[in-house]
Structure 1
Amino acid sequence: MKNLKYGIAIFPSKEIQDVANSYRKRYDPNYKNIPPHITLKERFKVNTDEIDQLAKELNKIAADMEPFEIEIHKVSSFSPVTNTVYLKVAPNESLTYLNEKMHQGIFPSEQQYAFVPHITISQDLSEDEHSDVYGSMKMLTFDLKDTVDRFQLLYQLEDGTWTVYETFKFGQ
């Protein structure tokens, strides 16, 4: 019975990942640990013998979902809480619903921050670096759209990288 760190995320299309990575390469020290993603549930610890139960629950949640659209038009920042700059995913009822479902029932309910759908493009920068990056990027506009039809349960390896444990497709 080992405690592993898990997380639940959506990996957007290659187009959106390429846009995010064009910035992450320079500004995100976690660039090599995980592809660009929208976090549905922050990392949590679960015993390996409980993960099958969680996966069953995630299957049920996915089965009740229909594919939905996401849109990204600009960047934003979590400053002053953290020096994180991100691609802001437009408010979306389906994402909010998924986040809520993954903090109820058998799931650990604690949530460090309020749910803000986003794709991180810079983090852990100094105050000055953050100001420069956010200052130059907040004027940019994007026209990124994607259809979301799945989410992934991930686990963290000892070297800090994240690996997909299982993928859950909607409506199946």
Structure 2
Amino acid sequence: MKYGIVVFPSKKLQDLANSYRKRYDPHHALIPPHITLKNAFELKDEDVKSVSDELHAIAKDSSPFTLNIRKVSSFSPVNNTIYLKVDPVEELVSLHDKLHAGNGFLSDNREYNFVPHITIGQKLSDDEHSDVLGSIKMLNVAHEESVDRFHLLYQLEDGMWTVYETFRLGKEC
């Protein structure tokens, strides 16, 4: 089965992202707005418990962090994805690195460098990307919130993602 690890932002930020995703992201119905910490990976049912134990240890050893968004950006010319840029604070980068340090499930499966973001548009034509990015970049985006958890998701047969387990960050959890 396919699994992934994400941070879900607050409802307020999800509502903002969804106001664009409904129009510009063909995946908007499959998963809520999120920050991907670990891309999709395959996992056998019998391995889920040991992965969950590893994630609890990582969560306990990681600190809550402040999620800051100050602008809209794009991965162009690599691809035509438009996103809300998340400041790469030390705690977030550290958590990401811990989820890619090791063997087996925690092996480094990164395709790209970690650029924390919340996708608001993807799979756009070049012209549409240019038009949408130009208009959205004029927005005054300023958002800040605290994050104290991350989630292990799994993918259903219809392509939708759902939460398998939630992990709270910090030693007191």
State the TM-score bracket (shorter-chain normalisation). Answer: over 0.9
Secondary structure of 2:18's match? helix
Provide the aligned C-alpha RMSD in A. Answer: 1.0
Q: CA–CA distance in 2 between the matches of 1:43 and 1:150?
A: 19
Superposed CA offset, 1:19-58 (max 9, x none): 1011101100000000000000011111121121111111
Q: CA–CA distance in 2 between the matches of 1:17 and 1:138?
A: 18
2:21 touches 2:28 (CA, 8 Å); kept in 1?
yes
Superposed CA offset, 1:86-125 (max 9, x none): 0000121111111111111241311111100000000011
Give the gaps of 5 or more residues in structure 2: none
Which segments of structure 1 move beyond 4 Å, counting only runs of 4 or more? Answer: none
Return the TM-score normalized by structure 2.
Answer: 0.94
Give the gaps of 5 or more residues in structure 1: none
* Corresponding position of 2:110: 111
Return the TM-score normalized by structure 1.
Answer: 0.95
Q: CA–CA distance in 1 between the matches of 2:54 and 2:102?
A: 9
Q: CA–CA distance in 2 between the matches of 1:38 and 1:115?
A: 11
2:65 touches 2:89 (CA, 8 Å); kept in 1?
no
1:8 touches 1:40 (CA, 8 Å); kept in 2?
yes
Instruction: Say whether residues 1:132 and 2:131 are aligned partners.
Output: yes
Query: 1:79 pairs with 63, 76, 87, which one?
Result: 76
Q: CA–CA distance in 2 between the matches of 1:23 and 1:94?
A: 28
Instruction: Say whether residues 1:49 and 2:43 are aligned partners.
Output: no
Amino acid at match of 1:15: K
Q: CA–CA distance in 1 between the matches of 2:158 and 2:124?
A: 21
Instruction: Say whether residues 1:161 and 2:168 are aligned partners.
Output: no
* Sequence identity percentage: 59
Secondary structure of 2:43's match? strand
Query: 2:88 pairs with 86, 91, 95, which one?
Result: 91
Amino acid at match of 1:114: N
Tell me whether 113-122 or 60-69 shows the greater mean CA deviation.
Answer: 60-69
Q: CA–CA distance in 2 between the matches of 1:58 and 1:75?
A: 31
Secondary structure of 1:165's match? strand
Q: CA–CA distance in 2 between the matches of 1:158 and 1:142?
A: 36
